[in-house]
Amino acid sequence: MSAYISKSVAAMEAYTPGEQPQDSEIVKLNTNENPYPPSPRVAEALRSFNAERLRLYPEPRNLAIRSRLAEIHGCTPEQVFVGNGSDEVLALATRAFVENDGTIGYFEPSYSLYPVLADIRGVPRRPVELGEDFAWRMPEGFRASLFLLTCPNAPTGIQYSRPTLQAFCRAFDGVVVIDEAYADFAADSFMDLAFAPGHANTLVMRTLSKSFSLAGLRLGYAVGPAPLIGAMQKIKDSYNLDMLSQSVALAALSDLAHMRTNVMRIQATRARLSDALRKRGWKVLPSETNFLFASPPGGDAKAVFDALRARKIFVRYFPGPRTGAYLRITIGTDAQTQALLHAI
Ligand SMILES: Cc1ncc(COP(=O)(O)O)c(C=O)c1O
C-alpha cells in the first residue's frame, strides 16, 4: 500500500455495486432497475438537445428542477436539494450534519452503502440490528448524529409504520434522512414528515433511478427544512448536475403519468411473482418496492443464486447470518418473470 494514502482510506473497504454485465442475453434482476423505458419525452429531450450549448457551464443552482420538484411536492425550491444520484445526496448529508467526533446510524440490514459512507466520512458506524423478520427495533436511548433510514427498506422490501417512524424522527436528536428510493412502489409515503411541525431534523430523499427508469442519468433529491437544504447546497460541487441531466430530468418530471403506469405494471407483476414463489414453497417477505426478498425452500439461497446465474439470470445475494438465506429479486417484465420461474 502506498504511503501517500490516508490511513482511513487505506483501511476501508469500498462499496460493492451490483454487477452491470454487458451481455444483453442476461435476464438482469440484480440492481432494482426499472424494466420499462423512461417517458418518450426523455428521448425527445435528448434528440432536441442542442450540443452547442455544452460550451457553457450548466445552471449551478439547479433551479428549474428544484422548482418542478417543489411544485410536485407542494413546497418551495428552497426546500429541495438535487444531487448526482441519491448517493451524492447521502454523501453530502454525512458532511453537512456530522461533526468530526459524530457518528452515523442505520439499520442492519439496509442499504449497504451507509456503512461505507461512515468510513469515508471517517466517523464511527452505529448499526442497529432489525428485529425478527426484519421488523423495526430501536434500542432505548439510541443516539447518533445522523440516521440513514431506508423506507420501505432494502433489501427486505418492508415498509415501517407511520406512527413508529414519526415518533422516532421526533425523539431523535440528530438528522434523519428517510431514504424513499422505492416509495413510488409503496402504498404510503412519508414525504409529509419533511414539512411537518416538530420535524426540523427530517429530510426525505427520492431518486429518479427506480420509478422513473433513469438509473443511468444519476438524479436524486432531498426535500425538507430550508436550513438543512441550504447547508447541503452550500457544500455541493458548483456544477453537480450536468446540463444534459438537467434537461432530461425535467422532461421525465413533466410526465408523471408515464411513471405511474410503469409502477402499476411492476406492482401487478410483483403480486404475481410473490404468489408463484409462495406456491413453490418459498418464503416471500411482504414487499412495498420493485423487488422481492425471498428465501427458497431449504434456505440454500447461494445454491439457487449460482444455478440461476448459470442460466444467465442475475439476482442479488447478500451473504451473512441475517440475509444469507434470501435472494433479492428485482421485478422485471412479464417475460423475464416467466424465464425466472421456468428456471426455478
Ligand atoms: C435504498 C437506496 N437508496 C439509494 C439508492 C441509490 O440511488 P441513486 O441511483 O439515486 O444513487 C439505492 C440504489 O439501489 C437504494 O437501494
Q: Taking Cα atoms as reference points, which of 190, 204, 180, 192 lies closest to residue 290?
A: 180
Q: Is the CB of 215 under 6 A from ligand 1?
A: yes
pLDDT tens sequence across 131-175: 999 999 999 999 999 999 999 999 999 999 999 999 999 999 999
Question: What is the rounded end-to-end Cα distance, in angstroms, of the chain?
Answer: 44
- Cell of residue 22, nine digits: 454487458
Answer yes or no: are the C-beta atoms of 147 and 174 closer than 8 Å: yes
Q: Quick check: 52 pLDDT over 90?
A: yes
Position in ligand 1 atom list of the atom nearest CA 208:
10
Best substitution site from 209, 213, 217 to test ligand 1's pocket, by max atoms within 8 Å of Cβ? 209
- Band of residue 17 on the pLDDT scale cut at 50, 70, 90: confident
The percent of residues in the chain predicted with pLDDT above 90, rounded, is: 94
The percent of residues in the chain predicted with pLDDT above 70, rounded, is: 100
Q: How far apart are CA 30 and CA 301, in angstroms?
A: 14
Q: Quick check: 316 pLDDT over 80?
A: yes
Q: Quick check: 338 pLDDT over 80?
A: yes
The neighbouring-strand residues paired with 175 are 146
Determine the pLDDT at residue 18: 83
Neighbours of 117 (CB within 10 A): 23
Q: Quick check: 176 pLDDT over 80?
A: yes
Q: How far apart are CA 62 and CA 182, in angstroms?
A: 23
pTM of the model: 0.97
- Cell of residue 329, nine digits: 429479486
Best substitution site from 19, 113, 158 to test ligand 1's pocket, by max atoms within 8 Å of Cβ? 113
Q: Quick check: 1 pLDDT over 80?
A: no
pLDDT tens sequence across 68-125: 999 999 999 999 999 999 999 999 999 999 999 999 999 999 999 999 999 999 999 9
3-state secondary structure of 63: helix
Please state the separation of Cα 255 from the chain's center in Å: 21
Determine the pLDDT at residue 289: 98
Report residue 52: phi and psi, to 5°. -60, -30
Q: How far apart are CA 197 and CA 267, in angstroms?
A: 33
Determine the pLDDT at residue 24: 86
Task: Indicate the average pLDDT of the chain.
Answer: 96
Determine the pLDDT at residue 204: 98
Answer yes or no: are the C-beta atoms of 296 and 274 closer than 8 Å: no
Determine the pLDDT at residue 299: 85
User: Mean pLDDT throughout 236-264?
Assistant: 97
Best substitution site from 207, 210, 240, 328 to test ligand 1's pocket, by max atoms within 8 Å of Cβ? 207
Q: Is the CB of 209 under 6 A from ligand 1?
A: yes
Q: Strands, E, within the chain: which ranges? A: 27-28, 80-83, 104-108, 125-129, 146-150, 175-179, 202-207, 220-223, 283-284, 291-295, 313-314, 327-330
Q: Quick check: 19 pLDDT over 90?
A: no
Q: How far apart are CA 278 and CA 273, in angstroms?
A: 8
Q: Is the CB of 181 under 6 A from ligand 1?
A: yes
Q: Is the CB of 149 under 6 A from ligand 1?
A: no
In what side-by-side order are the strands of the sheet with 283-284? 283-284, 291-295, 327-330
Q: How far apart are CA 161 and CA 156, in angstroms?
A: 15
Q: Quick check: 243 pLDDT over 80?
A: yes
For 54, what's the count of Cα atoms within 13 Å in the CB-facing half-sphere?
8
